Chains A and B, each alone.
Chain A
Amino acid sequence: GENVEQHPSTLSVQEGDSAVIKCTYSDSASNYFPWYKQELGKGPQLIIDIRSNVGEKKDQRIAVTLNKTAKHFSLHITETQPEDSAVYFCAAREASGSRLTFGEGTQLTVNP
């Protein structure tokens, strides 16, 4: 089955700085890669996703890049704000079905 590794496990940045979270996946046939933000006591919230036929996608301060050859994808947050503080999860969907496999999460802290 699919295996997703996520780094770093914790990330602390100053407000206004950029944050980058990286994930690698094992199944080269995986074709869909979402990112979720989870705040304390809440369920994961989909913030951006990318499909295997696209190399980069942006949505305001958030961007995701995908390198299929290297089997890794990254989340980029620019101009970070304190409200960006949360746990971020990457995931990969197996091409053989619709199961999402999640990474272990990254605790992002944005210091004012």
Chain B
Amino acid sequence: EAGVVQSPRYKIIEKKQPVAFWCNPISGHNTLYWYRQNLGQGPELLIRYENEEAVDDSQLPKDRFSAERLKGVDSTLKIQPAELGDSAVYLCASSPTTSGGEQYFGPGTRLTVT
């Protein structure tokens, strides 16, 4: 069974530029999460989708971050414009359940904003 796929794996951009991350969850997983992981810390939830509906986006900085999950499968997370403090690893995870258990993570995208 293929795992969670993310691209790109690495991205270096200048501040104020836009950037987008893509995620393909495990087949059949209806729940999808985006997390941000700062260096030396645990992942922090940005947004959770149940199918194509964002059911928890309370921690998403909506002034510059946006996300979508068209057709309830792939998802894209966008930052516009990027700031220096956005440098982090952006992780996508998926789950076969709606209760938050058994989340499976992708390899992440390491973003560096210069």
Contacts and interface: CB of A to CB of B under 8 A. Distances in A.
B42 interface: yes
Interface residues of A, number: 25
A51 B107 CA distance: 26
Contacts of A32: 99-101
Contact of A93 (B56, B91, B98, B100): B100
Interface string A56-98: 0000000000000000000000000000000001010110011
B30 to A, nearest CB: 12
Contact of A98 (B41, B100, B106): B100
B103 A43 contact: no
B111 to A, nearest CB: 14
Given A46-B102, A49-B102, A93-B100, A100 B107 contact: no
A42 B42 contact: no
State the main secondary structure of chain B at its contact with A.
loop
B12 to A, nearest CB: 16
A30 B42 CA distance: 18
B45 interface: yes
26 contacts: A6-B42, A34-B103, A41-B107, A42-B107, A42-B108, A43-B105, A43-B108, A46-B104, A49-B101, A49-B102, A91-B42, A93-B99, A94-B100, A97-B100, A98-B48, A98-B56, A98-B100, A99-B45, A99-B56, A100-B100, A100-B103, A102-B42, A102-B44, A103-B42, A104-B41, A105-B42
